C-alpha cells in the first residue's frame, strides 16, 4: 500500500466546499507561519552542518478538526490507568512474560538479545527496585458492517490498535497543532510527572554531587521537536531538574558506575566533574541494529545501575505485539486484573491471532495465505517506529518470502472498520482532500516498586496524562506522522459519522 507522500496531490489544491480559494490560501499560509514560529518542524538531518540546520520540514497536519465520538474519547481516557496497571503486572511477572515470548525469542535475534540483557542484569543483581514506565494506548473507532435488528447502523465501538511501552512518542508534538477554528491545544505538563517524581524520590548514599536525568537518544534524530521541549521544561522547573542528552551509541564513553553502582555521567563540556544520573529515559534502543556488542554492554550497564530506568528491560519487552496478542486470549486477563476490569479492556480488543504452529496459529496461516480472506487483516511484526506492517492483499506475497520457521514472529490482526470523514490534510507534498480515518492515542505513566521478598509490587504513581490524535487518508495503512503517513489532528465531538 502506498503512502500519501508517494503520490502527486498537486491536482488536489482546489478549495473545499466550505472555503473559498482565498480563504483556503489564507488558512494554509497561517498554518505554515504558526508551525514555523512554534517549532512544529522535523530536522532534515542530511542538511545538518556544524553551524546550521539548512533545512527543516513542517509536521503534516490536518487543516480542520475531525469528528470523533466524545463518549468513546472519554472511555479511552478512563481505561488508561487500568492498562497501566495491567502492563506493570506483566513486567513484574518474569515467568509469565518469558512464557509469552519464549517461542519468538528462540527465532528472533532482537528479542533474544533483549532477554539475554535481562538475564545478564539478573545474574549481576539489581540495586534499584523502582521502575518507571511511560505508555500509549492507540485506538480507532470500529463499526460492524450492516444494521441491527431494528434496521439501525450498528453501535460504534472503541478498538485498540496497539499498546506502546517503550520510547513513547507524540506527547509534546500534538500541542503545536492549530486548526482552522483557531483552537490551540494546551500542553498538559503532567507527562513530566513521572520523570519528576522518580527523580525526587531517588535515594542514594551520596547526593552531595550534582544530579540529573539522562535522555538516551538516537544519533542524528530528526524528531527533536517531540523530545527536547520536555528537557527544557524540566530545566525550567523550580528548582531546575538538570537534563542531559546522550546518544545510545556513546553511552560507554560517558557513563560509568560508582562504588554503590551510582550511574555517573561525564559530559564533554565538563569532563572533570561527573554527575549522578537519577533517571534514565529511553528515546532510543528500540531498533535491532542499535544492539551491537557496544550497545548490549551499554544497556546492561544502565540496567544494573542505581538509576531508575524508564523503562526497565522487562518493561521494554512488554511492548512486543506477542504480549498484546497473549493478553487478548481467553482467560489471560483474569490472572492479572479483577473481572470487571477485564471486561472493560476485553471489549476494546480486536481479533488477534498468532502465526505459529498452534491450532489457532494454523487457522491464522490459512487466512493469511487466502488472498480473499487476507484482505481483512494486517500482519504485524514486533518492531517499533512505524512503517513495518503488511496489509491485506500484500500479506500472501510477503509470507512467501519469509521462511516458515520465522512466521511465529508475526501477529495477525483483524482490520478495524473505522468510519470515514471527509478531511483536508496538509504536508510538504501538498494538500489532500478526501475520505480520512483517525486514531486516538492515550498516554499514561506508571511508577512502582518491586517488592523482592514478597514477589509483589507497590504502585507509587499511576496517571492518565493526555492524548494525541492523528488522521490519514482512508486508503493508507500506516499512521506514523514522522514517517510521512499520518497527520496531526484535533478531535471534534460534533456531527454524525459518514460511511463511504
pLDDT of 199 > 50? The answer is: yes
User: 43 labelled as ligand-binding?
Assistant: no
87-96, 108-117, 182-191, 407-416: range with lowest mean pLDDT: 182-191
- Distance from C-alpha of 400 to C-alpha of 379, rounded to nearest angstrom: 13
Q: Is residue 500 part of a domain?
A: no
User: 204 labelled as ligand-binding?
Assistant: no
114-128, 224-238, 478-492: range with lowest mean pLDDT: 224-238
Whether residue 368 sits in one domain with residue 255: no
Whether residue 397 sits in one domain with residue 255: no
What pLDDT does residue 432 have?
93
What pLDDT does residue 315 have?
95
Q: Is residue 451 part of a domain?
A: yes
Percent of the chain surpassing pLDDT 90: 47
Using DSSP bridges, classify how beta strands 130-142 and 157-164 pair: parallel, antiparallel or unpaired: antiparallel
Domain count, the chain: 2
What pLDDT does residue 14 have?
37
What pLDDT does residue 181 have?
26
User: 464 labelled as ligand-binding?
Assistant: no
User: 369 labelled as ligand-binding?
Assistant: no
What pLDDT does residue 91 have?
94
pLDDT of 53 > 60? The answer is: yes
The tens digit of pLDDT for each residue in 427-458 reads 988 899 999 999 999 999 999 998 755 557 88
User: 64 labelled as ligand-binding?
Assistant: no
Do the beta carbons of residue 160 and residue 348 sit within 8 Å? yes
Compute the average pLDDT of residues 103-123. Answer: 91
User: 415 labelled as ligand-binding?
Assistant: yes
User: 164 labelled as ligand-binding?
Assistant: yes
Q: Is residue 497 part of a domain?
A: no
Whether residue 218 sits in one domain with residue 114: yes
pLDDT of 69 > 80? The answer is: yes
Q: Is residue 337 part of a domain?
A: yes
Whether residue 49 sits in one domain with residue 124: yes
Kind and range of the H or E run holding 212: strand 211-217
pLDDT of 104 > 50? The answer is: yes
Do the beta carbons of residue 142 and residue 156 sit within 8 Å? yes
Compute the average pLDDT of residues 242-247. Answer: 93
Q: What is the pTM of this model?
A: 0.88
pLDDT of 281 > 70? The answer is: yes
Whether residue 282 sits in one domain with residue 271: yes
3-state secondary structure of 67: strand
Whether residue 421 sits in one domain with residue 362: no
What pLDDT does residue 354 have?
85
Q: What is the CATH number of the domain that holds 408?
A: 3.30.1490.50
Q: Is residue 499 part of a domain?
A: no
What pLDDT does residue 499 have?
41
The residue out of 376, 395, 415 marking a domain boundary is 415
Q: Is residue 60 part of a domain?
A: yes
User: 216 labelled as ligand-binding?
Assistant: no
Burial class (CB in 10 A: 0-12, 13-18, 19+), 325: buried
| pLDDT band at residue 178 under the 50/70/90 scheme | very low
3-state secondary structure of 420: strand
User: 6 labelled as ligand-binding?
Assistant: no
Whether residue 424 sits in one domain with residue 328: yes
Q: Which domain holds residue 155?
A: 4-350+416-492
Amino acid at each position: 500500500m502506498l503512502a500519501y507522500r508517494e503520490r502527486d496531490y498537486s491536482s488536489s489544491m482546489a478549495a473545499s466546499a466550505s472555503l473559498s480559494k482565498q480563504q483556503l490560501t489564507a488558512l494554509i499560509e497561517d498554518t505554515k507561519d504558526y508551525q514555523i514560529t512554534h517549532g512544529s518542524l522535523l530536522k532534515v538531518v542530511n542538511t545538518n552542518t556544524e553551524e546550521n540546520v539548512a533545512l527543516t520540514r513542517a509536521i503534516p497536519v490536518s487543516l480542520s478538526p475531525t469528528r470523533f465520538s466524545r463518549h468513546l474519547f472519554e472511555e479511552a481516557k478512563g481505561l488508561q490507568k487500568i492498562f497501566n496497571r495491567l502492563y506493570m503486572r506483566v513486567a513484574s511477572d518474569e515467568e509469565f512474560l518469558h512464557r509469552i515470548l519464549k517461542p519468538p525469542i528462540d527465532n528472533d535475534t532482537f528479542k533474544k538479545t533483549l532477554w539475554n540483557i535481562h538475564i545478564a542484569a539478573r545474574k549481576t543483581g539489581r540495586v534499584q527496585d523502582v521502575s518507571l514506565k511511560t505508555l500509549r494506548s492507540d485506538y480507532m473507532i470500529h463499526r460492524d458492517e450492516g444494521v441491527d435488528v431494528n434496521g439501525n447502523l450498528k453501535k460504534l465501538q472503541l478498538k485498540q490498535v496497539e499498546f506502546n511501552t517503550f520510547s513513547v512518542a507524540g506527547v509534546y508534538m500534538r500541542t503545536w497543532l492549530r486548526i482552522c477554528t483557531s483552537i490551540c491545544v494546551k500542553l498538559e505538563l503532567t507527562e513530566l510527572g513521572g520523570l519528576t517524581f522518580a527523580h525526587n524520590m531517588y535515594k542514594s548514599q551520596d547526593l552531595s554531587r550534582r544530579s540529573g536525568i539522562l535522555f538516551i537518544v538516537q544519533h542524528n534524530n530528526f524528531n527533536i521537536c517531540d523530545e527536547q521541549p520536555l528537557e527544557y521544561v524540566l530545566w525550567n522547573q523550580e528548582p531546575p531538574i538538570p537534563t542531559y542528552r546522550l546518544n545510545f551509541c556513546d553511552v560507554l564513553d560517558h557513563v560509568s558506575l560508582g562504588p554503590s553502582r551510582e550511574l555517573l555521567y561525564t559530559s564533554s563540556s565538563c569532563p572533570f566533574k561527573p554527575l549522578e544520573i537519577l533517571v534514565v529515559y529511553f528515546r532510543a534502543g528500540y531498533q535491532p541494529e542499535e544492539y551491537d556488542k557496544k550497545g548490549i554492554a551499554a544497556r546492561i550497564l544502565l540496567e544494573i545501575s542505581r538509576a531508575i530506568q524508564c523503562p526497565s528491560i522487562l518493561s521494554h519487552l512488554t511492548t512486543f505485539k506477542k504480549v498484546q496478542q497473549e493478553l487478548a486470549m481467553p482467560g489471560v486477563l483474569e490472572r492479572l486484573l479483577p473481572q470487571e476490569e477485564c471486561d472493560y479492556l476485553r471489549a476494546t480488543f480486536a481479533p488477534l491471532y498468532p502465526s505459529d504452529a498452534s491450532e489457532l496459529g494454523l487457522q491464522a496461516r490459512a487466512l493469511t495465505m487466502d488472498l480473499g480472506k487476507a484482505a481483512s487483516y494486517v500482519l504485524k511484526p514486533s518492531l517499533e517506529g512505524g512503517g513495518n506492517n503488511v496489509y491485506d492483499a500484500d500479506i500472501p506475497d510477503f509470507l512467501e518470502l519469509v521462511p516458515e520457521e520465522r512466521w511465529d514472529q508475526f501477529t495477525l490482526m483483524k482490520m478495524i472498520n473505522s468510519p470515514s470523514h471527509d478531511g483536508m490534510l496538509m504536508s510538504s507534498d501538498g494538500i489532500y482532500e478526501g475520505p480520512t480515518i483517525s486514531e486516538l492515542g492515550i498516554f499514561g505513566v506508571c511508577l512502582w516498586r518491586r517488592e523482592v521478598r514478597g514477589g509483589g509490587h507497590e504502585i507509587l504513581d499511576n496517571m492518565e496524562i493526555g492524548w494525541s490524535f492523528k488522521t490519514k487518508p482512508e486508503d493508507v495503512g500506516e499512521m506514523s506522522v514522522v514517517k510521512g503517513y499520518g497527520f496531526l489532528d484535533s478531535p471534534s465531538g460534533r456531527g454524525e459519522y459518514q460511511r463511504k
